[in-house]
Each structure stands twice: as C-alpha cells, then as structure tokens.
C-alpha cells in the first residue's frame, strides 16, 4: 500500500487519528504522542501505533495539524539574564547543546530569547500572548520571576531548569545541588582542611540554596560548627567570585579551603588568592561547581562538582514535548513524574 494513495478510513476519506487509535487499541492522545515523538510511550505501544499507521496508510498533515491544533512547531528557550552572562558562562552553552541535540530528530524549531531587562520582558510577554510558540524552556529563573506565572496564565506548556522552590508547580529538570554541595565539603574535609569557606550563588535561586544546605550539613555531620563568617554570597560571575574572595580573606585570613559554587566564581577567587600570595592547593584548596571547560583549563586544574548539563537539556526537551502532546493543565496530572533530578559527581583535580 502506498500511504496517501487509495488508503481510506471508515468514513471513506483519508484515515483519521481516531481510526488509527481504534486500530491500535489506544487513546487518541497516545497516537498523538507517538506521532509527535514524545519519549514517554512504551516500545510495545509505539510499535502498535506505528503498525496501525502503516496498515491504514495514515499520513499526518503537518500544516493542517498545526493549524487545527493552533500549533507553530516552534519552542522558545527563554533566558531571563543579560546576553553577556549567557555567553560568559559555559552552563548556558552546554544546556543549549543538549536542547539542540534532542530536538534534532523532530520538526520543532528552537528560538533563543533573552529577557534580562524590563523592556525585553515586556516584548516577550507580548510575543507569548500571541501564542507564537508551542512551549517554553525557562533557564536560570529566580524566585521572584513573573515569567512562570505568565506562562501558566497563558496555558503555554513550559519546563523550568531547576525549581523556584520546593513547591514548584511547573515541570522541572535539575541536578542534585544538595548532594553536590555536600560532596564538595566532604572532599575538603577528607583532605584535612579545617577552615572551609564557601562563595554562594545568588540566593534567590533555589539550586544555590540547596548547595548551601549541603555545605552546612556536611560540616555539621563531621562535628564542625558552621562559621557564618566563612559564607559570602556571590552571583555566579567571575567578578562576583573576586569580590567574595576578597571579603573572605579580610574576614578570615586563616581559611585553608574554598568551595566556590560555580567554576566561573572559582576562577575569580583564584585570581585574588594568587594576588594575596596564597598557593593553591598548598595554602588554600579550591573547589568549583559545574565541571566546565574552565575547570579543566585552570592552573592548577580545578576540582569541581560535575552536573550533567547537556543531559539536563535533553531531559527538559523530553518533558516539554510530552507537555505539548498532552495539553491538560499540569496540576491535573500530578507532580511525581515531572520533577526530574539528575545526579552530580565530584571530579578531583590538583586544586584540592
């Protein structure tokens, strides 16, 4: 049988989605998910749907389907940060790489949108209100960001890279920030370090809060008191790392280890330590977070907590495609299967 020529459904016209579903013994939504490439369909179900498609000669009409379903076959990756930060931090490029790789086998187009200023946010709100994309990936969202609520109001499927809080209502993909922070401190304790400082990320980011919790609990479980003077906030930037390291040396000149909660901040901290005549790791051990190219190319190479950023990007696409295929409101489907947390791993190098 040649698909599209001579194939007729029960209605006498082209086979319909409903007829494919009936032949395969599944629901219409399941057929839609298979056709749209959703990952959350069992192999047996996928095979049954594909067999029904072949038997009936069903040919999806992409343009008609998109029009009828108000589909654009486009998704947006929205970064509510200035462009300068996006291009300065490997986290974002690695995330984009994973997203692009996972989309390569689909018909979806990817739009990259920055929303770091009020003007950019206003333009984005107007763009989203016109429903010009089928779904949105939100990357690097702060606790008070209004974008997730806007997407919920517009009923646009969305997935967030890291929940805003423990009560996150959007589907999310994150790494184990608590475990990562804990492993960094346990490593430094194991190396015999006694005065372990940390440079935090922005504390309106839930992931940064979780890394601090891991830092604190690792110290407490080792029978050590948490000295608040050894905790200085940063902002995930190199300049933020420099400022925080300068403050730490002023407060506690006898510190012998620093856990910087991003590789970029660790690079800034290293500059200040060297200018102060501190040898790494002889005088001060240094640990970063992300295990980016920065970590591997530093001198000495930086011990860092690896989070699987590209894999996180792939997982976000998988979740979003499923959200697009199943347009029921997120709250009606429960949260258990939609909060994905991937493991982290400490990679020891010469800086510690």
pLDDT for residue 60: 66
Q: What mean pLDDT comes out for the span 264-271?
A: 97
pLDDT for residue 42: 86
Closest CA to 259 of 271, 274, 244: 244
Residue 300 near residue 350, CB atoms below 8 Å: yes
CA–CA distance, 124 with 327 (Å, rounded to integer): 22
pLDDT at 344 > cutoff 80? yes
pLDDT for residue 119: 86
Q: What are the contacts of 143-147 at 24+ separation with CB within 8 A? A: 143/204, 143/205, 143/206, 144/204, 145/80, 146/121, 147/78, 147/80, 147/115, 147/121
pLDDT digits (tens, 9 = 90+) for 274-283: 999 999 999 9
Q: What mean pLDDT comes out for the span 233-261?
A: 96
CA–CA distance, 64 with 238 (Å, rounded to integer): 49
CA–CA distance, 177 with 212 (Å, rounded to integer): 9
CA–CA distance, 172 with 40 (Å, rounded to integer): 16
* Triad 313, 76, 204: Cα angle to 5°: 65
pLDDT for residue 13: 63
pLDDT at 249 > cutoff 60? yes
pLDDT for residue 276: 97
CA atoms within 13 A on the CB side of 326: 21
């Amino acid at each position: 049988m040649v698909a599209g020529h001579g194939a007729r459904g029960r209605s006498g016209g082209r086979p319909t989605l409903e007829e494919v579903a009936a032949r395969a013994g599944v629901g219409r939504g399941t057929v839609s998910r298979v056709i749209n490439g959703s990952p959350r369909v069992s192999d047996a179900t996928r095979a049954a749907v594909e067999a029904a498609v072949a038997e009936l000669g069903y040919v999806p009409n992409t343009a008609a389907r998109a029009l009828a379903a108000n589909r654009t076959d486009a998704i947006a990756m929205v970064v509510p940060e200035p462009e300068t930060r996006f291009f300065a931090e490997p986290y974002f490029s690695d995330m984009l790489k994973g997203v692009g790789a996972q989309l390569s086998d689909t018909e979806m187009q990817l739009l990259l949108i920055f929303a770091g200023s009020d003007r950019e946010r206003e333009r984005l709100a107007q763009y989203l209100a016109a429903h010009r994309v089928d779904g949105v990936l939100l990357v690097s969202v702060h606790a008070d960001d209004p974008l997730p609520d806007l997407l919920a109001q517009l009923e646009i499927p969305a997935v967030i890279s890291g929940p805003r809080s423990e009560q996150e209502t959007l589907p999310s993909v994150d790494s184990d920030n608590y475990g990562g922070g804990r492993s960094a401190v346990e490593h430094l304790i194991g190396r015999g370090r006694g005065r372990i400082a940390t440079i935090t990320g922005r504390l309106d980011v839930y992931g940064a809060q979780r890394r601090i919790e891991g830092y604190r609990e690792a110290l407490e479980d080792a029978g050590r008191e948490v000295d608040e003077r050894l905790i200085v906030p940063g902002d995930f930037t190199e300049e933020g790392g420099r400022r925080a390291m300068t403050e730490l040396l002023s407060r506690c000149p006898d510190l012998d280890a620093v856990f910087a909660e991003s590789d970029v901040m660790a690079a800034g901290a290293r500059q200040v330590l060297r200018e102060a005549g501190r040898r790494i790791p002889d005088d001060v051990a240094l640990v970063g977070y992300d295990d980016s190219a920065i970590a591997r190319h530093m001198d000495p190479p930086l011990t860092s907590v690896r989070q699987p950023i590209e894999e996180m990007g792939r997982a976000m696409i998988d979740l979003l495609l499923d959200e697009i295929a199943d347009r029921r409101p997120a709250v009606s489907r429960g949260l258990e299967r939609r909060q994905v947390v991937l493991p982290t791993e400490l990679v020891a190098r010469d800086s510690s």
